[in-house]
Structure 1
Amino acid sequence: MTSSRYNPYQVTDRNLALELVRVTEAAAVAASAWTGRGLKNEADGAAVEAMRRAFDTVAIDGMVVIGEGEMDEAPMLFIGEKVGAGGPGMDIAVDPLEGTNLCAKNLPNALTVVALAESGNFLHAPDIYMEKIVVGPALPEGVVDLDNSIEANLKALAQAKKCDVSDLMLCTLDRERHAELIARTREAGARVTLLSDGDVAAAIAACLDDSGIDIYAGSGGAPEGVLAAAAVRCVQGQMQGRLLFEDDGQVERARKMNPGADPSRKLALEDMARGDVLFSATGVTGGALLRGIRRSGGRTVTHSLVMRSKSGTLRFVEGHHDYHTKTW
């Protein structure tokens, strides 16, 4: 007799979460062969091809809606590409190698990233910049707002956390465009952590209690913003975004990708990633979030994070892969 509590979708959902780990593991191992070689496009290309092959075994009818960025002029899992072995229709958001420069220079926090949701649940974001702000869970709704000054946001966040502004740590990309944000944050009394690359990992870190990061703010890639939103959904954090346009052509492209929506509107978290979301990331180089690829003899050790918005569960998965029997 079938139990009345049996939920086939939930079983499929759980299985897909583990399948996504295999996809990011495969990409991370392939990219790691290029770590420290100074060849970011070759590392990215290896990750792309490994991720494509791994998706061939996943039981979904997937379409890439967030793919590799055109800014990098690197190989792409392109927007509109179909992946999967057949099954339920899914939107796929990928960054086969977040932090190509980090991998090329063997610097911390290079990751391989995949997010998955039912069709129509991810924002179709063009390869432009997005203004972003992220804080963690267990805070009053709307405690920070993209339309508020950084000083006002820091003050509100400190009040919500029952601490002083001087106790807060803001994380942002180390870019000239953030010079004013950095200066005003420090003048307000808060501290700043600067990243050379990798704002998906930074957005996740802002939602984890033991990361030392209280808030992520600034502008970065819009595709990475959607991936970050998927992760933030899974950990019940808060995030807002807004697309930043350089010309009318970018505005028109965003309008075509999301018909009927104001392309310049402030984006709430669920405007970017809604419904049931799955997220997986595997470390290529070690960092605050994940350990990097390790090799010993005929074995490779991977360290991954997999999350589901439905359950809110975070799982850190350590995989030990034997090259004598492993097929990717």
Structure 2
Amino acid sequence: MEAPTKNLALDLVRVTEAAALASARWLGRGDKESGDKAAVDAMRKSFAALDIQGTVIIGEGEKDDAPMLYNGEKLGSGTGARVDVAVDPVEGTNLLAYGRPNAISVVGVAPAGAMFNPGPSFYMKKLVAPWEARNAIDIEAPVKDNLLKISKALGKDVDDLTVFILDKPRHAKIIQEIRAAGARIALHTDGDITGSLMAVDPRNEIDVMMGTGGTPEGVLSAVAIRIMGGAMQAKLDPQKADEKAAIIEAGIDTRPVYSVTDLVKSDDLFFAATGITGGSFLGAVKFSGRGATTHSLSMRGLTGTVRYIDAVHDFTRLMKVSNVPYD
């Protein structure tokens, strides 16, 4: 695998900032396709300015039938390091469309060949916890056993734990088991990348993320989790007969349990995220009369550096030097 030759972390923040600024105009307008398209267009134009030879390994379009940065698409100027790219221009399109918290724009980059390619797998069971619980998690163990071991590893009682889980019918049994174990629950309608990041971010109140979400989101989350030093296990969990049939036809085994190092096979990683709608993770895009403020997260794997970035954007000046549609 060819390693990137420069620190791309701050360049990627500019990509997610552009996507967040463009899509935030669609907050609460009930049109997730237009909000997603605005983010995709801005992200694609921003990537064109980067000296990389990028290939999209993780894109959202095929699963969501949305405007896409599609799998296999080439990004960047065509010069520089060859890299795998994982993108989610709007993680939480429904959150954006209906003005709900925690929609974010996300990008991850790894050396070419380092990212797990999910192929036709759309859904994955996940278990994410802080680094201190790395030897405590077992995705195939009962919920109660995991919570007991995680609480011990974190030095907490089970009833002090907060578990992030998506509020979906498929999780009804898991939610019952979490409640029976005595842990607290943070139910979210969408956004399991955000949930995974919350679980490994020491600034956040979330201790555990569990449940079934998108496979692409799982790989993208793994980039950040590997950089931040969190613990993760995952297992393919097809939800429909056609997905299962496609996986079997592709010769993919659904039995293995994947660790974060299975999903991303390098430490030479870069990750960026920018808040769109705000919430408990990253602040919202806030527009003023002449520009906007954004709140972002930037990470580099080789150094383990994690930056939280507040930026003030002056559209009058910015649009003189950028072809990205901020306004």
- The answer, yes or no, to whether TM exceeds 0.5 is yes
Answer yes or no: is 1:264 the counterpart of 2:255.
yes
Give the one of 112, 128, 131 matched to 1:137.
131
Give the aligned partner of residue 69 of structure 2.
77
Give the aligned partner of residue 122 of structure 2.
128
CA distance in 2, matches of 1:100, 1:253: 30
The CA deviation string for residues 160-189 of structure 1, in whole angstroms up to 9 with x for no partner, is 122211111111000011111111111111
CA distance in 2, matches of 1:69, 1:169: 32
Structure 1: which amino acid aligns with 2:258? L
Give the number of equivalent residue pairs: 312
Give the one of 21, 37, 43 matched to 2:35.
43
Answer yes or no: is 1:239 the counterpart of 2:232.
yes
CA distance in 2, matches of 1:106, 1:270: 35
The CA deviation string for residues 9-61 of structure 1, in whole angstroms up to 9 with x for no partner, is 78x432x1111001001111110111110000110011111100000001100
Structure 1: which amino acid aligns with 2:142? S
Identity %: 43
CA distance in 1, matches of 2:23, 2:290: 17
Deviation at 1:263, TM superposition (A): 4.3
Give the aligned partner of residue 61 of structure 1.
53
**Consecutive unaligned residues in structure 2, runs of 5 or more:** none
Deviation at 1:311, TM superposition (A): 1.5
CA distance in 2, matches of 1:252, 1:64: 23
CA distance in 2, matches of 1:28, 1:158: 36
TM-score, L = length of structure 1: 0.92
Deviates more, 1:241-250 or 1:92-101: 241-250
Give the aligned partner of residue 163 of structure 1.
156
Answer yes or no: is 1:250 the counterpart of 2:241.
no
Secondary structure of 2:307's match? strand
**Consecutive unaligned residues in structure 1, runs of 5 or more:** 1-8, 256-260
CA RMSD after TM alignment: 1.5
Secondary structure of 2:132's match? coil
Q: How does 1:1-328 map to 2 (within 5 A)?
A: 12-14=5-7, 16-85=8-77, 86-125=79-118, 126-139=120-133, 141-245=134-238, 246-247=240-241, 248-252=244-248, 255=251, 262-275=253-266, 276-326=268-318, 327=322, 328=324
CA distance in 1, matches of 2:6, 2:190: 31
The question of whether the paired residues in 1 share the 8 Å contact of 2:132 and 2:154 is answered with no
The ranges of structure 1 where at least 4 consecutive aligned residues each deviate by more than 6 angstroms after the TM superposition are none
CA distance in 2, matches of 1:286, 1:318: 13
